[in-house]
Amino acid sequence: SSVTIPPPECMLRPLEVPFRYLFGPGPSNVPPRVLAAGGRGIIGHLHPEMYEIMNDIKKGIQYAFQTQNNMTIAMSGSGHAAMECAVFNTVEPGESVLVAVNGIWGERVAEIAERMGANVHIMVKAPGGVFSNEEIEKALAKHKPVLFFLTHGESSAGLAHPVDGIGDLCRKHNTLFLVDAVASLGASPIFMDQQNIDILYTGSQKALNAPPGTAPISFNERACQKMFNRKTKPVSYLFDMAHLSNYWGNDGQPARLYHHTGPVSGFFSLRESLAILVEKGLEESWRHHREVAGYLWKGLEDMGLKLFIQNKDLRLPSVTTISIPEGYNWREMLQYIMKHHNMEMTGGLGPSTGMVMRLGLMGYNCQKTNADMALAALADALKNCKKSKA
């Protein structure tokens, strides 16, 4: 045999990565300190120093989630890895799962649960719709699910869904309460233990400001009881919590055994981003996101734009959804903003596509000066993007 595929020319050019203002729903710009942490020389994924770093990450997540759960880890993978891990480990084929769908994330979880053979029931509302506790209880009683899924930070709709009281209803109906806080963690308050959330996950690349690729997740005792007393093995080897709990030193075994090679640099970055959150403090982080979001919302409304979520108290402070202004082509506006302002904002996602434009100011990006830049870019686009014929 001989080499017949020639070396690709492109690889002989240096890596080029433009600077870009990431004012969409994530990833957001990564602070220099977190970038530097990820650029440190790596060590082995099974070295004692790495275990110490993982132990620190676990403590950081426990703080960020406000939980004492021992079964707290970071997934090697994005928020979707955590989503699949939660479903794959707590549900067995044929079991009933209830999913609240009011944007893309419920749709995703319903599909994931269906793929692994669960008996999936969905409660559907238009993007940004809010489920009352009465509606949820009725559905729990009817479908008797082992798992109920709700999105706290619905980034496709710009909604921060209330969670109070739902954990108690789930307990009453012997259901595990799974909450997605990928887009909300660090920006909007959530209290895993006090709100009786059984499984909670987030992603690294939103308000935490680490690069994409790691995803904190935590399971409480009820969730552990269910997932470690199953009859069948979870469909995924990589996401099997029996292995991951050992890798994270959570199973009480004296040794951590090789399961997979964790993203060492990603864990360095995640640790640094959690350290920044710890230094700032959760309350201050929530207050700051809310303040900058309030400033942005006022600026948008002053410009004549309409916010998609009308009730201020239900708006996600990290990702703001703007109704598409009448007569404008949203794709054209977003392309204009990218071309002339080097700035990412995005359209809707899944069921909100064509309904909204999304503007995210999270963590490091969450500054009034950035809100001013985003407002100026939008004003410029409104002025210069031709109105399409109605």
CB of 28 to ligand GLV, least distance (A): 11
- Residue 124 and residue 102: Cα distance in Å, rounded? 6
CB of 361 to ligand GLV, least distance (A): 14
From the list 206, 266, 201, the residue with the least C-alpha distance to 61 is 201
By CB under 6 A, residue 156 contacts ligand GLV: yes
CB of 183 to ligand GLV, least distance (A): 6
By CB under 6 A, residue 214 contacts ligand GLV: no
- Position among 21, 22, 26, 190 found at the interface with ligand GLV (CB under 6 A): 26
Q: Containing H/E element for 283? A: helix 282-302
- Residues 208 and 273: beta-carbon distance below 8 Å: yes
Q: What amino acid occupies position 81?
A: A
By CB under 6 A, residue 158 contacts ligand GLV: no
- Residue 358 and residue 127: Cα distance in Å, rounded? 13
- Residues 178 and 150: beta-carbon distance below 8 Å: yes
Distances (CA, A) of 216 to 71, 76, 119, 157, 241: 11, 9, 27, 23, 13
By CB under 6 A, residue 155 contacts ligand GLV: yes
Strands, DSSP E only, in 222-341? 319-323
Q: Which is nearer to ligand GLV, 20 or 142 (by Cβ)? A: 20
- Residue 298 and residue 177: Cα distance in Å, rounded? 35
By CB under 6 A, residue 204 contacts ligand GLV: no
Q: Which is nearer to ligand GLV, 200 or 227 (by Cβ)? A: 200
Instruction: Fill in the per-residue mask, 110 to 149: x = in contact with ligand GLV (CB under 6 A), - = not in contact.
Output: ----------------------------------------
Q: Which of residues 311-370 bind ligand GLV (CB under 6 A)?
A: 349
CB of 269 to ligand GLV, least distance (A): 18
**Which residues bind to ligand GLV, rule: CB under 6 A?**
25-26, 155-156, 183, 349
